[in-house]
Amino acid sequence: MVTAHTPEQSWEQVRQFAHSCVHIGEIEVIPLESGDKRICGENAIALTNLPFADSSSMDGWAVNGDGPWTLIEGQQIERNQASVVTTGSALPVGAQAIVRTENATLAKDQLTSSSATTEDIRKAGEECPIGQNLCAPGAILNPALIGLLAATGHDQLKVFEQPLVQIIITGDELLTNGLPTRERVRDSLGIQIPMWLTRMGAQVLPVLYRRDQATDISETLAGSQADIVLTTGGTAASAKDHFITAISIAGGEVLLDGVAVRPGHPMKFAVIRNFEGKQIPVVGLPGNPLAAIVALSTLVQPMLNKILGQQLQPLIPLISSTSLKGGGSATRLSPGSVIDSVFTPAEFGGSAMLRGLSASTGFAVINNAIDAGDTINFLPLPT
């Protein structure tokens, strides 16, 4: 069992806590073509030199000697012989230089040129030698890296299994389509949180909607097969805030009851055991949209980092374009964007707002009031 935390822990402590409270995940083997955006689970080394052999970087002829050269076909050339090469093709044995197509004259089988050069020869292993490490555990795979692994002989790769995340949206007043009314509000979290989680590397189960009833929420929690469960709403102190009661009914324990951060301070963290005895971390996200995403970045992103073999996401020092107010005794996360290492806060950054976040690339992490030109720390949103 994880050590319990008292209410209103600092934002920095909570991120560290979230990263430490889960274990590194399991490894699976997948074909390279399925690897985009997956997290590498091994030190993937080059299985061959790249290029495999001395090769040409231009179209033309491989030549031996000073010329003129007699054009032949074959895998080996002797003195004053030449063989056609194309960009990327291996050179014949005996090749000493390359003559580019535009720099030569060919009459029947006789080639002449004054521009033979070694500069267009790519040496075997020039890009990477056999055995060189190309991808470390925790690295995010991308098309170019996958192409590099293929070029050096890989057909498959070990990656971290994607953790299963279940989202439970609570609230009697929520609409999942159409226009809001005085009695019903449109749910904005059930549609966006799965997308954020996918960007973080998780596999997201279908979103579940539950009434504001502690027993319904509790039963859904206990029946989950996920590795992490998220709930939205119900984390404050009104008559409809049932997170703590639902955890109690499920036989779980609340380990974190609030964080000293604005927005998002009523976020919760608990553990339960499902019907099969599996211990599952449960994160209670506040119902206000911006506050929910702050909580997602504070608690869920660090857990997924750890499960996927990654370090806790570092904060990036930047310059603030303007003065920023502090959060009193709490850390304040202000959405905004970065251009040329300068942070500019977004408009519409209230706890219940999404417009500011929609135009942002991350959060400024503000512990004290900031003047224009001061350094701030920046937490990027997942991409």
pLDDT tens-place string over residues 167-190: 999 988 888 999 989 889 899 999
- What CATH code is carried by the domain that includes residue 200? 3.40.980.10
132-137 average pLDDT score: 97
pLDDT tens-place string over residues 253-299: 999 999 999 999 999 999 999 999 999 999 999 999 999 999 999 99
pLDDT tens-place string over residues 9-46: 999 999 999 999 999 999 999 999 999 999 999 999 99
- Identify whether the C-beta of residue 133 lies closer than 8 Å to the C-beta of residue 196: no
User: Do residues 290 and 363 share a domain?
Assistant: no
- 145 pLDDT higher than 80: yes
- 318 pLDDT higher than 80: yes
- Residue range of the domain that includes 98: 55-122
In a domain, 359, yes or no: yes
**Of 263, 279, 307, which one is at a domain's C-terminal end?**
307
- 1 pLDDT higher than 80: no
Q: Which residues touch 105 (CB under 8 Å, ≥6 apart)?
A: 111, 112, 113
What domain count does the chain have?
A: 4
CA angle 287, 289, 294 (to 5 degrees): 95
User: Do residues 357 and 288 share a domain?
Assistant: no
User: Do residues 91 and 60 share a domain?
Assistant: yes
> Of 159, 220, 197, which is closest to residue 29 (Cα–Cα)?
159
pLDDT tens-place string over residues 46-84: 999 999 999 999 999 999 999 999 999 999 999 999 999
pLDDT tens-place string over residues 344-358: 999 988 888 899 999
